[in-house]
């Protein structure tokens, strides 16, 4: 077969692929259009619905099998029917029953899908001749791994000035940036830079953003891959992907390879064997060993589970530099909030806001600012205030929960539980501004050096609700699970890490002694404070939250 025939056959095959792709695209677009026509209403939560109802913003409503469809200011919303009180809705607006035309849409979609497959079968028969030509000219190629085509670097536009609250980390990375900018300076001086930099820290602290900032400051290509992208079910595929990634980075050196969540591929070997994962890890180790000191490629990785990594990854010559990125302190939170609030119209005391967000990561602070802005919009405000942040803080930390889901008895039990914790927090000087009936509100210890007395106060806080259940109901309840686990965790750290138990080398017995003595002390304290607990409980039942000053007033008034 001559070159002209080969070219014609190739064009025919290309044309066939384009036609099938076009028809497939038409089918997908048709399905999406009909799906959007079927139900374009935005799903809202109960809080948003209640806001619309109370402010008379619902123009009309229609009842369907599963949802209530609401029209408000020209926009359509929906909410599950079983979550709302229909009688209240009938009082506020016109309510009708929505006619069901869903079966018509299903028929139309069925016709479209059937037509597509009919056309596909017809076209397949018609193109049999072209398929034969394809085999005759032997243009069939082995299957190409899509990963290979996706290895493309990015030129990061992130700079250190865009990443607030990581001053210590910036200092450690400055020489890495200098090496990438001017490697000859280091090589001439006989200095060997680390081949690998491991960023260790909890989720949301900005490890990926830091790596992008390093690439941006150095002005070098940045190759991002998730550790899970190397975990494959096909034998040898993970190792192949590692080779391709490193080969591409070397071609474009100086450059940075960043592997996010490296624990997905770098878990310690042994135990539950996974030959494919081990082969991938071995290839990663081999590639890092194969680096020349002058290659100009730096490997950065991130994990929040360093204890799970294979020891071979952490030995000198691989990830021999580890940078710990912790949750931001009050000063750093203030700087991060300043960045996120730049484009948000607000009137907020950043000093106060940073102090009420202990335990928030950078990502959580971003979500907090966004949720506060949405809350202000729902309330019809034109500016975000501190109160908006207070309203959504617990939602960001713990997720949205509804008090309405509690029965009256459950609500009383939960209020008693939180009242005991609130009183203990006040008594043991554990900082808080406002405590919610659902939990949360108590600030974590926000300093580097912590005394045994402070740890014990925190344990007593976590045990106080459990103790109150025995004092008031002579029974244990399931709402204490999280607090008990936190109390045990602190006690174990005191014994194992800080030698604050009976012996320097502590054991489980020392942990039990700390927990038992703390529980005994908090029971004795609460047994003498029942009147105060009941008063705080009643306040929580009525208002669902209580502020520090309100607790102080109750403590001073009730004897």
Domains belonging to the chain, first-starting first, are: 1-141 (3.30.720.210), 153-324 (3.40.50.300), 335-398 (1.10.8.60), 404-557 (1.20.58.760)
What are 281-309's pLDDT values in tens digits? 888 888 877 666 556 788 888 888 887 88
Query: Which of the two residues, 73 and 129, has the higher pLDDT score?
Result: 73
Nearest Cα neighbor of 223 from 304, 157, 299, 169 is 299
Alpha-carbon gap, residue 185 to 175, rounded angstroms: 11
* pLDDT tens profile 58-76: 888 888 777 888 888 778 8
Cα separation, 291 vs 282, in Å, equals: 15
Please tell me the distance from the alpha carbon of residue 416 to that of residue 427, in angstroms, as a whole number: 17
Crossing angle (nearest 10°) for helices 275-289 and 237-251 = 20
**pLDDT of 120 strictly over 80:** no
Q: What's the chain's length in residues?
A: 559
Please state whether beta strands 75-80 and 346-347 pair in parallel, antiparallel, or not at all (unpaired): unpaired
DSSP single-letter state for residue 359: T
Percent of the chain past pLDDT 90, that is, above it, reads 15
Alpha carbons 279 and 272: distance in angstroms, whole number: 14
The alpha carbon dihedral of 492, 497, 499, 503 has a sign of: positive
Please give the average per-residue pLDDT across 153-171, as a whole number: 80
Is pLDDT of 217 > 90? no
For residue 302, the cross-strand partners are: 199
C-alpha–C-alpha distance, residues 296 and 257, integer Å = 11
Q: What is the CA radius of gyration of the chain?
A: 31
For residue 220, the Cα-to-chain-centroid distance in whole angstroms is 28
Residue 49 exposed, middle or buried by CB count within 10 Å (0-12, 13-18, 19+): buried
Gap between the Cα atoms of 510 and 54, Å rounded: 55
The arithmetic mean of pLDDT across residues 399-426, rounded, is 79
Tokens linked to 508: 């489980």
Is the link from the previous residue into 34 a cis peptide, with omega within 30 of 0? Answer: no
HSE of 159 in the Cβ direction (CA atoms, 13 Å)?
A: 3
Strand partners, 384: 346
Mean pLDDT check: name the lowest of 196-200, 304-308, 513-517: 304-308
> What distance in Å separates the CA atoms of residue 380 and residue 200, rounded to the nearest whole number?
42
Query: Which of 135-149, 176-190, 204-218, 388-402 bottoms out in mean pLDDT, i.e. has the lowest?
Result: 135-149
């Amino acid at each position: 077969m001559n070159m002209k025939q080969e070219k014609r056959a190739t064009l025919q095959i290309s044309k066939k692929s384009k036609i099938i792709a076009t028809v497939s695209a038409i089918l997908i677009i048709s399905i999406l259009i009909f799906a959007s026509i079927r139900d374009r209403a935005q799903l809202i939560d109960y809080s948003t619905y209640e806001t619309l109802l109370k402010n008379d913003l619902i123009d009309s409503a229609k009842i369907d099998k599963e949802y209530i469809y609401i029209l408000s200011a020209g926009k359509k919303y929906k909410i599950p029917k079983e979550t709302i009180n229909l009688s209240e809705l009938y009082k506020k607006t016109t309510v009708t029953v929505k006619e069901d035309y869903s079966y018509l849409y299903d028929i139309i979609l069925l016709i479209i899908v059937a037509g597509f497959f009919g056309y596909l079968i017809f076209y397949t028969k018609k193109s049999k001749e072209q398929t034969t030509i394809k085999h005759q000219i032997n243009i069939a190629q082995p299957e190409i791994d899509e990963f290979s085509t996706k290895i493309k670097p990015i030129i990061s536009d992130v700079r250190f000035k865009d990443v607030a609250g990581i001053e210590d980390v910036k200092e450690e990375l400055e020489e890495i940036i200098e090496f990438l900018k001017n490697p000859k300076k280091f090589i001439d001086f006989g200095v060997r830079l680390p081949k690998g930099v491991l960023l260790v820290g909890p989720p949301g602290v900005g490890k990926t953003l830091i790596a992008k900032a390093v690439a941006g400051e150095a002005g070098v290509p940045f190759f991002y891959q998730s550790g899970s992208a190397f975990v494959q079910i096909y034998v040898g595929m993970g190792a192949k992907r590692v080779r391709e990634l490193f080969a591409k980075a070397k071609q474009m050196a100086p450059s940075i390879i960043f592997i996010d969540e490296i624990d997905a591929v770098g878990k310690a070997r042994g135990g539950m064997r996974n030959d494919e994962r081990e082969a991938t890890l071995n290839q990663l180790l081999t590639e890092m060993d194969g680096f020349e000191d002058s290659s100009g490629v730096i490997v950065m990785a991130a994990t929040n589970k360093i204890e799970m990594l294979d020891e071979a990854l952490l030995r000198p010559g691989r990830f021999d530099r580890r940078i710990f990125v912790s949750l931001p302190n009050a000063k750093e939170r203030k700087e991060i909030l300043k960045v996120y609030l730049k484009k948000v119209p607000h009137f907020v005391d950043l000093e106060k806001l940073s102090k009420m967000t202990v335990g928030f990561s950078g990502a959580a602070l971003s979500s907090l600012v966004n949720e506060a802005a949405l809350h202000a919009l729902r309330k019809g405000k034109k500016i975000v205030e501190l109160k908006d942040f207070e309203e959504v803080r617990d939602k960001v930390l713990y997720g949205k929960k509804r008090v309405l889901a509690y029965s009256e008895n459950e609500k009383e039990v939960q209020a008693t539980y939180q009242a005991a914790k609130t009183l203990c927090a006040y008594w043991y000087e554990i900082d808080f501004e406002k405590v919610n009936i659902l939990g949360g509100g108590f600030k974590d210890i926000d300093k580097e050096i912590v005394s045994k007395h402070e740890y014990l106060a925190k344990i007593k806080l976590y045990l106080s609700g459990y103790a109150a259940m025995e004092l008031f109901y002579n029974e244990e309840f399931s709402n204490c699970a999280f607090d008990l686990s936190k109390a045990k965790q602190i006690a174990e750290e005191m014994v194992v890490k800080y030698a604050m138990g009976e012996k320097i080398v502590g054991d489980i017995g020392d942990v039990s002694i700390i927990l038992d003595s703390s529980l005994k002390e908090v029971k004795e304290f609460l047994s003498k404070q029942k009147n105060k607990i009941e008063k705080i409980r009643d306040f929580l039942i009525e208002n669902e939250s209580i502020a520090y000053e309100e607790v102080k007033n109750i403590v001073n008034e009730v004897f």
